[in-house]
Every structure is written in structure tokens, then in C-alpha cells.
Chain A
């Protein structure tokens, strides 16, 4: 069926808006990639916009030789992978019981958990708690305080609640216990949600910045977010303050090296998104066909 004129105008409008939105997201990235692969001369003269000029990978070589980026990348990967495993495990273990009608005190627990969304302890009390638990300078200070994101847990709970009770009954009749039901029925049926939540957690851990800054003291344990921010921040601070002594000026890493660091940091997330895409699509389909 051919779309009518009105539909066509509507479609053209939609495509235009989406194209503009996509470009707004894409262009800064393209610019950063170009800066990172251009020569210092071209960058310093402001000639680099969308395409690299005097293309070279010199910035990446300087980045790898002159900064601890490789170590930071491993740290980021470690924090992220372990963090996803811990967080997903405990999110599932928290969400499932809260969907069972025979779980006594369900409302009270839910309330207690949701309550933590509204109030936090503040930075210094949190720091002191972490310190008393002797978690300072360990990655547990990143994993434990945010082990279960309440929002993610509620999303998963809602999704589990939507599994028809008939499936539950059928499995019980076949002699399925709680664990088997959770592992064999609930989790496979929740794959799209699980993939989404894993991605949320993953992005969160990959980008974790403030907690690393505050709770980790050993620079050998810093992750990429902190490292990249340090490199860029020292440049901005320099241009803001006239009063700085000469020693501060020498510490500047060239703009292309900073851009290269940004690229290296963003790349893994860019790679992961398309891989998980199919689960998102499935997630949309699941609710669509009923009966």
C-alpha cells in the first residue's frame, strides 16, 4: 500500500528530525576521532573539523607510552565485568522473592528498598562507612555500595511479575522447586530485561568516576574515566587560572592525546551496544504478541 501524502510528509518530518538528532550525537564523536588522528600543527591551528589532517597515529603512541592508559583500561574492564556479575546476581536474587505472593513481609521489604531511593547518607558519612568496613582503596568500595540499583531491581521485578501465573503452576505440577523455577523458567523468559540491565550496570561501572576518585587512593587502581578526566581537567584548569606557576604548564598533554584517550574510553561501549541490540528488539516483541 502506498503511503498517503499526509503520511509521506509525516515520514519526511520524522526522518529529518531523526537525522538531525543522529548528527548531533555523531558529529562530536567524529570530531574527536579526527583530532586524535591529526597532527599537532593542524589541531593547534584549528584546522581540524570533521576529517583528520596530516593523519597519523602519533597521539595513540604518546598515549600508550606516556600515560598509564593500558593499566587503566584493564582496571576499567575488571571493575565492569566483576561489577556486572555481582550486581546482576543480587538484583535477580532481590527481585524474584519480591514477586512471590507467598513471601511474607513482601510489602515491608519493598518499601524498605524503595526508601533508599529517596535518601542517601551524603558523601562524608558514606566515606566513613566505607572506611570502617576497610574497603578504601579496594574495588569493593565501588561494587558494594551500588550492588543493587533499586530502579533496575524494580524493572526486573515488574518483568517477572508479568510472567503468567499459569507457567508457574505448570512447572510446580511438574515438580519444579524454587531454584529450578528461577533458573530454568524465570531467567530465560527475562533475557531481554536481563541484557538491558546488564548493559545499564556495565555502562555505570565503566563510567564510574566519582566513587573511584573518592574511595580509591592508589593511582595504580584508577580506571579510565578518572584518568581521562585528569588529563582533560588539567588542561582546562590551566586556561582558567592565570596564577599558576610554570610547573603546572608543563603538565599539559597535547589535545590530540586527550582526544585519543576519549576515543579509547568510548570505543568498548560503542562495540557492546550493537551486540546487545537484538535483545532490545526482542524485549519490544515480547509484550506485543499475546494469547
Chain B
């Protein structure tokens, strides 16, 4: 009897547990169903607005999927980056119905990798990262496009005929073309700004050699150029892009030509770092420059008028508000000029230029309708679409200025409607919209600040592209060959070399550049650096006639 109640009790309890389990699973089911219902609703409600009025017309168009960078900057009332005024316009006016797959800009490579690995990648993929696109090529994830261009393209084919370098830049080692891109004029991208009012005040001239540069920097630091009676200025920045420009001055760009061979430029590296060490030891730069990893502190010092020589940019009207306007607000008397990089024993080099032929887009090898993908690319590369995406509707969004170029009608309206849509221009060849698209036509000479900056842009064009100025690397970084996996590991291992040199800059006599060089060589040899050397030198020997090199870049120099 007792045993009976006992088992009854266990049975009851077990039933209880089973019931609990069933309830739990029921709850999951209910939850899952309600989710579907919710989804259905939201789809139903969003569908009409998506298709707009042209629903029936679009039914016949082939569908493709296209990646688009998402930067979290689309105003809420404009929709999302994947569904907005411009995607609707493109689908209404284009030959295909594109479905946009937003790719978060910050993690784009990771997200695209995931999508490719799980066969979910869009048909048309846009990505700036050259090595990622090369990886897709090596994995045979993307299509060779020569035939597609031949058969289906109109506007892109015309562009390629006009600018044969596009094919050169898009061709992969197997001799076929895999990428699409855009063409821009070659411009001075980075600019070596110097405070001309300081030069005048201290009776100095524009430095032409590293030695003169050192003297100017020394005077800027020690002779109180801002006249406030305190020694609170720095001659030059060492962090951020200014540090990079000092490297460029000595042609410290890792791989350099020597007797027709591409070799590692150790000598140049030593010279650049010895110069930086001299500046540091003489107390002419911010002692904490290593902590300023992205150059922000240096930028703030420039803005507040505490640095005399600084590398900024002159490629876009937005640079005015970053590099010039704050300085003029803080120091109304400041006078800035953009100068040439001083000539070192290695030559005189451009500070930094843009990539005139930039590859951005590939077609997924698994695309169901490559023809439609090609037609989409053709659409995006056409001048009319480019103009529409850049300036919006003439009349509504833009008006023609006195120089005949389209300009935003109302800046606030333009920002809201268009400024976030720049990622739809990854196939737009700006050179076709010249002379209107460049910064020279976008700045308004009637505005005093813009007039000043226009002058800086012109000075910087001369500084970067003028007579006797060379490009320090053999080509733009995006056109350098991509390392195979095992060699990228080596490159990562030897990247510590930079730490040795930084240590040398800040350690005074305790650790010299020679010691850093010895330690760097040791690491280089131990890590298999000679494999990198033979890779680059072989690549150059085999490809110097076909690769897209500096001389090709210089074909896109602005003709004024």
C-alpha cells in the first residue's frame, strides 16, 4: 500500500514534468507562429510603398541582388539604405530590379565572407578592400567578365575604350578581367600645409630640403611664432598622415626600385626614422605622438594654431571644414600655404594622390543572371545616372551655378536627400562629369574661406603633380599585388619592425636607429622576410609591362 502511494506520487510528479515540458514547447511554437504573423504583417504593410506605382511595369524586369554599404547615416524619414528614393528611382528607370543587401561598412569584409561562405552573397558585390576581392578571385567566387562586357555592355564598354587602364587594373593573374571600377582625375589628395604667417614673422623661406625643414621646425618651436610669449608650439606633427609624409620624403615606402629590381627599402627607412629621431631629440614635436594613433591630437593642435606644419587633404569641399575653417576661426590671422615635400637625397615626391582608377565591384560566380548584373553595372556606370545620383533632380535638388555646374539648391535639403547616397556612386566615373565634379568647381570663389581653400587646392595640385615631382611608391597601394596567405602571415609577423623604429625615435641615445635596424633585420630574416622579397621582385619582373603603375596613374593628371 505504502509502495503504491509512493509510485503514485512519482507518477504524478513525472506527469507534472512532462506537462511542463509540453507547455514549454508549446510556448516556443506560439512564439514562433506569432513571429511569422508579425512578419507577414510588416511585409504586407511595407510592400506597397516599396513597389510604388510602377509595380506592374517592374514585374517583367529581371531581379538581381546588389550589396550596398550601410553606414547608419540615412535619415529616418528617407527610409533605409536598401529602400529609399534612389533605389526606387534606379529600379523604376533601370533595366533590372535590384534588391539591395545592406553591408555594414565597418565590418564589411566579415559580413561578405559570411554571405559567400553560406551561398547567400549578392549577385553584384561592391567592396573597396582590394585584398578581399583578390581573395574572392583566388577562391573562384567571382566571374570573369570579359565576355559579359563584350556582349551586353554599352556604357561601361565605352568607358573602357576611352580609358584602357580600366582593363589593366581589372585584370587578374590569369589574364581575364574580373573587376569593375571608376575613373577619376589624378588630384593632390594629401597636402603639406605650412603656416605662411609664421614663416613671414620669423623671416624664413619655404623649406626645400630636409635640413631646411629641420631649421624651420626648430624656429617654429622655439621662437614663439604665435607671439603669445609662451613656448607652446610644435614645429611639425609626427603622428597621423604627417608622420607618413616624412616617410614619403625619404621614399620610405617599403618597396622601392633599385637598378630595375623591386627591393625592400631599408636604407630609406633608416633615413626617415633618423630624421624623426632628430626632431624628437631636439624637442620639436609632441613627445606623446605615439599615443596619438590616428592623428587626432595633431589635428586638434593644428586647428588651434599650435602646429606649424601639418598634412591635411584637399580632395573634397568637406576638407575645408576639417582642415581650414576651424583654424581660421581660432586664429583669424593664420595664413596657410600648401608646399612641395622637400627634396631629400632620394628625390622629390608627391605627398599623396588619389587612386585614379579604382576597382570597386565584382560579380558573384553564382549569380543566376549575369546578364542582368552586367546591365545593372552598365546603368550605374552611365553618366546620366551618375549625374542624377550625385546631384539629384535638377531644379528640385540642384541648380546650375554661375560656372554652369550643378550645385546643391539648399545645403540642408541636399544633405538630407543625397549626401548619404554616395555609396551608389562606386561605379560612377567622376572624370566624365568634369570639369564640374571636382573640388575646383565645387568651391565658390565668392566666399572668402572657399576662395582661400581654392588657392590651397591649386597650390597642392602643383605640389603633388608639378614638374620634377615623382610618386614615391611604384603604384598606388590598391594596385599593389595581393600576397598569398602564407606570405601575409609573414608580413604580419614582420610588422613589428615599426615598433623597433618607434622605440628608436623616443629612446634618445639608449636605443639608436642602427640598433633598431639590426633588430629589424634579425626579425626579418628569422620570419622569412626573404620570401616577401622574392615575391615582390618576381611580381615586378613578370608584370612591369602589364601592371597598373605610377606612370599609368599620371595619365589622369588634370589638364588645365
Q: Which chain A residues have a beta carbon within 8 Å of chain B's beta carbons? A: 40-41, 44-47, 65-71, 86, 89-90, 93, 97, 100, 102-104, 123-124, 127-128, 131, 138-140, 177-179, 213-214, 217-220, 222, 226-231, 233-234, 236-237, 239-240, 242-253
Contacts and interface: CB of A to CB of B under 8 A. Distances in A.
Contacts of B104: 213, 226, 230
Contacts of B240: 239
B310 to A, nearest CB: 13
Contact of A236 (B39, B73, B294): B294
B303 A46 contact: yes
A222 B355 CA distance: 33
A227 B295 CA distance: 24
A164 to B, nearest CB: 20
Contacts of B303: 44-46
Given A102-B10, A214-B110, 10 more contacts: A40-B326, A45-B300, A66-B73, A127-B117, A219-B82, A230-B72, A231-B72, A234-B71, A242-B352, A243-B478
Given A233-B105, A249-B318, A213 B72 contact: no
Interface string B116-157: 011010000000100000000000000000000000000000
Given A124-B118, A249-B316, A243 B71 contact: no
Contacts of A230: 70-73, 104-106
Nearest to A132: B118
B16 interface: yes
Contacts of A250: 316, 318, 419, 422
Contacts of B478: 243
Contact of A237 (B24, B106, B190, B301): B106
Contacts of B73: 66-67, 230-231, 234, 251, 253
B74 A178 contact: no
B294 A44 contact: no
Contacts of B54: none
A152 to B, nearest CB: 17
Interface of B: 10, 13-14, 16-17, 20, 24, 27, 31-32, 35, 39, 70-76, 79-83, 101-102, 104-107, 110-111, 114, 117-118, 120, 128, 184, 189-190, 240-241, 244, 294-297, 299-301, 303-304, 313, 315-316, 318-319, 322, 326, 329-330, 352, 354-355, 358, 415-416, 419-420, 422-423, 425-426, 476-478
B326 A214 contact: no
Given A45-B303, A138-B35, A218 B354 contact: no
B354 A245 contact: yes
Contacts of B426: 247
Contacts of A69: 76
B434 to A, nearest CB: 13
A229 B105 CA distance: 10
A128 B118 contact: yes
A100 B89 CA distance: 63
Contacts of B318: 249-250, 252
Contacts of A252: 318
A74 B153 CA distance: 45
Nearest to B182: A245
Contacts of B102: 217-219
Given A44-B303, A138-B39, A226-B72, A219 B101 contact: no
30 contacts: A41-B326, A44-B300, A65-B75, A66-B73, A68-B72, A68-B74, A68-B80, A90-B24, A127-B118, A138-B39, A140-B35, A179-B16, A213-B104, A219-B70, A219-B74, A230-B71, A230-B73, A230-B105, A231-B72, A234-B71, A236-B294, A242-B190, A242-B352, A244-B128, A245-B184, A247-B423, A247-B426, A251-B73, A251-B420, A251-B422
Contacts of B425: 247
Contacts of A66: 73, 75, 415-416
Contacts of A138: 35, 39
A227 B106 CA distance: 10
A249 B39 contact: no
Contacts of A93: 20, 24
B16 A67 contact: no
A234 B16 contact: no
